Structure 1
Amino acid sequence: MELTGEFEFGHEDRGEIYDYVERHGSIKPKRLRRALDIDPRAFGHHIAILKRDGVLEEVDGELRVAFEEVDEEEFSAAGVDCTIRGARQEDLTGLVGAIREVAEEGAYIEAETVADVVDHEEVLIRHNELESRVFFVATVEEEVVGWVHLNVPEVGKLRHTARLTLGVLPEYRGRGIGGRLMERGVDWASESDYEKIYNSIPSTNQAAIQFLAGHGWETEAIREDHYKLDDDYVDEVMMARWL
């Protein structure tokens, strides 16, 4: 999955159409036209151009931001058939549930924050002038069992970095799914010309720290007593990997 589309649309109405779709995740064309109060003929013209330019696409009768899809990866994970693919808007509920389950189990604050933001916005993929956000999911029988998420600031001085979170539901660990998700996230970041990925984890989450260290991540800094978990102060371990 690659982010496509620039933020120069050549017409104010096209910019407004894109912004509305991007904020809402997906929307039916008629509802979008009414919300923006654009002349039907002009609206159809703008939509046709945005589709032609690969900025928007229509899926199941709804418009959404277009992405260049990458091949799905299918593999057997210790007897379980698993698929890794780009997340879709319809994965939102299952994905948020998986993130919350992993976050609560291991005090994964960064992931918990991601779940809160996505749940509040009700939009998975973002691509605007301030940030870009993508997810890849691991599914078993179409149920989300793991994810890798990358959030990219569009601010120039940070444009070379991406914040990554990753997790797998407890019952599916030890099957290599987490490693494959990590590879997918790293490949996406590298192919998109990002130079560094980073993450922060409470020091009590030793399993996550060891997992990242085993995949080439290094501890850059430790902020003492940064988190307060169950009335106990816990250090924040700030980790990163250069690509």
Structure 2
Amino acid sequence: MELTDKLEFDHDDREDIYEYVESNGATRPEKIRKALTMGERAFGHHTAILRRDGVLEEVDGKLRIAFDTGTEEEFQTDDVEFIIRQAREEDLTGLVGAIRQAIGGGEYVDAETVADIVDSEGVLLRHNELESRIFFVACVNDEVVGWVHLKHPEQEKLSHTAELTLGVLEEYRGNDIGSHLLERGLEWAASKGFEKIYNSVPASNEAAIEFLDSRGWKEEARRRNHYKLNGKYVDEVMMAKQL
């Protein structure tokens, strides 16, 4: 299933199964069946169709939302070896922790919001009539050390856009992990037909602005005194890149 696909169900039971998995994350089939008070035969039939159609997948005995994940890429620098891949539901705790550690200074408000939402919902992947989200992660020895997140509003007038957040743990910066994550996110967005990617950061986050500017992002607008960080008013810098 691709993030930009419109989900249409031709049976209410299949929609109920999907919505349960979306709301609760990867779950054992029997738990879903009992929660929906669905007969074994009917449940087996509908989950088989959802799996066949690439809407759900079963991994380690649990049903979860299926996405077109792409390949797992390996990279090596003089100091570190890392892989970049699409995030899985089981990455949720490590990913939220990495985001919060990476933004420790509180100068990446959008990323902090992403971490709070994912943590409170307890669901990493999201794909419904309101919005969809996907993450790619950089991992060292199976530990998440960086991420790129894309959120896509399902409203027709904004269907060509996606919001991106990106970050790397401080001790792993300087190894091009952020550059590779950004490239992976933009390649994925372009392959799905997005035309514009945007990101907003406080003006005080000069490192993030410089990073994006050096990679072809442009400042589109600025909201004066939009944030209040540590008692001081700070502008919001709204940056974007055309694909």
Is this a same-fold pair by TM over 0.5? Answer: yes
3-state secondary structure, aligned to 1:34: helix
Q: Which residue of 2 aligns with 1:7?
A: 7
Q: Residues 160 and 6 from structure 1, CA distance in 2 versus in 1: closer, same or farther, beyond 3 angstroms?
A: closer
Q: Which amino acid aligns with 1:9?
A: F
Partner of 2:214: 214
Q: Name the SS of the counterpart of 2:104 in structure 1.
A: helix
What is the distance in 2 between the residues matched to 1:54 and 1:4?
14
CA distance in 2, matches of 1:210, 1:125: 30
- Number of the residue aligned with 1:186: 186
Give 2:26's aligned amino acid.
S
| Fraction of identical pairs, as percent | 63
Task: Output aligned runs, 1:1-243, within 5 Å.
Answer: 2-3=2-3, 6-105=6-105, 107-243=107-243
Deviations 1:130-156 (A, max 9, x none): 111000000000010000000000110
Q: How many residues align?
A: 243
1:185 maps to amino acid: G
**TM-score normalised by L of structure 2:** 0.97
TM-score, length-scaled by structure 1: 0.97
Q: Residue type matched to 1:25 in 2? A: G
- The separation in 2 between residues aligned to 1:232 and 1:42, in whole angstroms, is 58
Q: In the TM superposition, what is the alpha-carbon distance from 1:129 to its structure 2 partner?
A: 1.1
Mean alpha-carbon deviation: is it higher for 61-70 or for 197-206?
Answer: 61-70
User: Aligned AA for 1:21?
Assistant: V
In structure 1, list runs of 5 or more residues that go unmatched: none
Secondary structure (helix, strand or coil) at the match of 2:103 reads helix
Listed one character per residue, the Cα deviations across residues 190-212 of structure 1 (whole Å, up to 9, x for unaligned) are 00000000011000000000000
Partner SS, residue 241 of structure 1: strand
Relative to 1, partners in 2 of residues 1:225 and 1:104: Cα closer, same or farther, differing over 3 Å? same
- Kept in 2, the 8 Å contact 1:134–1:150? The answer is yes
Q: CA deviation at 1:78?
A: 2.8
Distance 2:9 2:112 in 1: 35
Cα distance in 2 between the residues matched to 1:111 and 1:103: 8
Unaligned runs of 5+ in 2: none
Distance in 2 separating the partners of 1:225 and 1:66: 41
